[in-house]
Structure 1
Amino acid sequence: MHEFNRRRFLLNAAAGAASLSFDNLALAAPKALAVMPTKQVEAGVLDVGYYEAGPENGHPIILLHGFPYDIHSYAEVAPILARQGYRVIVPHLRGHGSTRFLDDATPRAGQQAAIGQDLIDLMDALHIPEAVLAGYDWGGRAACVAAALKPSRCVGLVSVNSYLIQDISKANLPAPAPVEAGFWYQFYFLTERGRAGLSANRKDIGHLMWKGNSPTWHFDEPTFKRSAQAWDNPDYVEVVLHSYRHRLGHAPGYPDYEETEAFLATLPRISSPAITIDGAADGVIKATDGTASAARFSGPRQHRQLAGIGHNPPQEAPRAFADAVLELARKGRWRT
């Protein structure tokens, strides 16, 4: 009996030591980054890669990323919304991730009418009659365009940097801002040197932009590399170049989007309930109190500033961004 107890003690001690050792290893190991797996759906001119979470019968929320970023801007926001019972859709914009053009002959347009139409086409393909739309940078512009084109399909709008629809006709280019250092990449992309540079150094340029766009955001290299993979898309360079060249009057728009661009040039008001957000530490667009764009919203609208946050609020302040989306979703007048 004595021998049995001694053996049991030794076995228990060994098991405890092993458990302690593995626990310590687990605590020491770096936390694995969440990777958002994508599905594919044909929508308009694209085969769109998108992440989906939450119940299929939940009210839809579509989250839209900017440039140079990807769907992982919403790696923390999406689960918050899904846990509240919403169907969350996070698509790769054209030229990013697994999104591809269905036809090699389709122009690699990056103009605002194109990315806004992509969003409407995605909603059609996924049989989504209405949704809360939320985005920043390119994604915010796509959401604003879709809300203006199809107001009945936008239950609510969250847009970083307020109203992002632009009148890009040469006669109506925006007046130069007092300081345009944050827009350096836009002017660089007007040149053929910019084309060569983006083609050869897309990750280096993206890293430089992340640091300049959000000077207070201390992202780590694994976080950056996770998003940078999305820029290996074969259409990335051409879509990006057309976006900025068209926006600054250095490239024509494509015929399929002429009618929509003419409508957007009138700067149509957005009637959907909206929450607009500025990061107070945005290195691209200076934060405002929102009054300058107030006339562009005919529906109820709130404007919020996020202290210490830069150009990518959903990734830098996921809880605050998710709260804005949830407020509109909960108060929304859903028809379906």
Structure 2
Amino acid sequence: MSPRTPPWTDRLRHVNGIRLHCLEAGPESGPPVLLLHGFPEDSRAWKKQIGPLARAGFRVVAPDLRGYHLSDRPAGVQAYRIDTLLDDVVALIHSLGYTRAHVVGHDWGGIIAWALAIRSPEVVDRLAVLNAPHPAAFRRELRRAEQKRRSWYVAFFQLPWLPEQLLPLLGRYALHGRPGSFSAADLTGYQAAWSQPGAASAMIHYYRALVRFGNVEGARVQAPTLLLWGMQDVALVPELSEGLEEWVPDLRVVRFPDATHWLMRDEPVRVSNLLTEFLA
């Protein structure tokens, strides 16, 4: 494999009535690890983690979530309800030939990962979350002014058509990690994905469905959990990484004082090492 050859293969997986495009790497006999991206990225968000995890012996699968990049984009807000997103992940695990997997999620992928561990603990072996709030902690912080202020975009995304028109601008604005975390090629690639027919609406429907249909009920997580948190996140208050033990008894929290919301891009080597150690 040349230095320029990506350490993964592209696959289309048929799950839950749709096709999910996945980046897959590592030995098929290895323990499965799902990497779930967030808004407004796609499976390429994990490009610095796929190789190290695969070389450590894990079977790594990073899907484009429904509506994103090369996966199918069902029409309508209801297609992006949290229960449907969870069903996608469970079906993906089963389509790979497993009954359970390690699950890693960032941003929206982390929201899905938390909810999966709460609703379907039988399919989650170990859980790792990067800068995504546990649902009970988020409800707690939304009672305070600072998190309400930072969550302004959720209300904005409830508007018709305007968020879709502004997504190229908002997306590029959102993707601001530390200098050098996103290359020009990264931003161009994401912009091309957002410009596909129906892509902008699909991505924003996640937020519309969350408001209209609600989040998963419950709070307790049984799986051993690693929470990685970039403390310079402009969308999520640092207090969301605190006081989780009543809901997540088997928890380790690692905070990165100088990292942003885009933790796995700001600190790719350390994040990869922490995930490899935790999932082993």
TM-score normalised per structure 1:
0.73
* Structure 2: distance between partners of 1:116 and 1:92: 14
Residue equivalent to 2:168: 203
Q: 1:1-336 counterparts in 2 under 5 A?
A: 38-100=10-72, 109-161=79-131, 163-165=133-135, 174-178=142-146, 180-192=148-160, 195-198=161-164, 200-211=165-176, 214=177, 218-248=181-211, 251-252=212-213, 264-265=216-217, 267-288=218-239, 290-298=241-249, 300-330=250-280
User: Are 1:54 and 1:86, in contact at CA under 8 Å, matched by a contact in 2?
Assistant: yes
Structure 1 residues 175 and 229, CA gap change in structure 2 (3 angstroms): same
d(CA) in 2 for partners of 1:272 and 1:69? 26
Distance in 2 between the 1:291 and 1:218 partners? 26
**After alignment, is 54-63 or 315-324 more displaced?**
315-324
Which deviates more, 158-167 or 125-134?
A: 158-167
- Alpha-carbon offset, residue 184 of structure 1: 3.2
Contact 1:216 1:281 in 2 (8 A): no
Are the aligned partners of 2:78 and 2:209 in contact in 1 as well (CA < 8 Å)? no
Deviation at 1:294, TM superposition (A): 2.0
Structure 1 residues 274-297: Cα deviation after superposition (integer angstroms, max 9, x where no partner): 010110211111224833222111
1-side partners of 2:52 and 2:181: how far apart? Answer: 22
Larger radius of gyration: 1
Letter of the structure 1 residue corresponding to residue 124 of structure 2: C
**Partner AA of 1:205 in structure 2:** L
Q: CA deviation at 1:218?
A: 4.7
Q: d(CA) in 1 for partners of 2:97 and 2:197?
A: 28
Q: Are the counterparts in 2 of residues 287 and 305 from structure 1 also a CA contact under 8 Å?
A: no
Q: Identity of counterpart residues, as a percentage?
A: 22
Q: Point out where structure 2 has 5 or more consecutive residues left out of the alignment.
A: none
Taking structure 2 as the reference length, the TM-score comes to: 0.87
Structure 1 residues 105 and 70, CA gap change in structure 2 (3 angstroms): closer
- Tell whether the 8 Å contact from 1:270 to 1:296 is kept in structure 2 after alignment: yes
Alpha-carbon distance between aligned partners in 1 of 2:60 and 2:248, rounded to the nearest angstrom: 25
1:163: how far off? 4.5
1:37 and 1:181 map into 2 onto residues whose CA distance is 41
Distance 1:294 1:322 in 2: 24
Q: Distance in 2 between matches of 1:57 and 1:218?
A: 33
The answer as to whether partners of 2:182 and 2:265 remain within 8 angstroms in 1 is no
Q: How many Å separate the matches in 2 of 1:65 and 1:36?
A: 16
Q: How many residues align?
A: 278
Paired letter, 1:244: Y
Q: Which amino acid aligns with 1:324?
A: L
Q: What CA distance in whole angstroms lies between the structure 2 residues aligned with 1:109 and 1:238? A: 11
What is the Cα deviation at residue 38 of structure 1? 2.2
Amino acid at match of 2:135: I
Contact 1:71/1:90 (CA < 8 Å) preserved in 2? yes
> Which amino acid is 2:271 matched to?
F
Q: What whole-Å deviation, never above 9, does each CA across 1:98-120 have from its counterpart, x for those lacking one?
A: 1115xx67765333222222111
Contact 1:280 1:305 in 2 (8 A): yes
Superposed displacement of residue 168, structure 1: 10
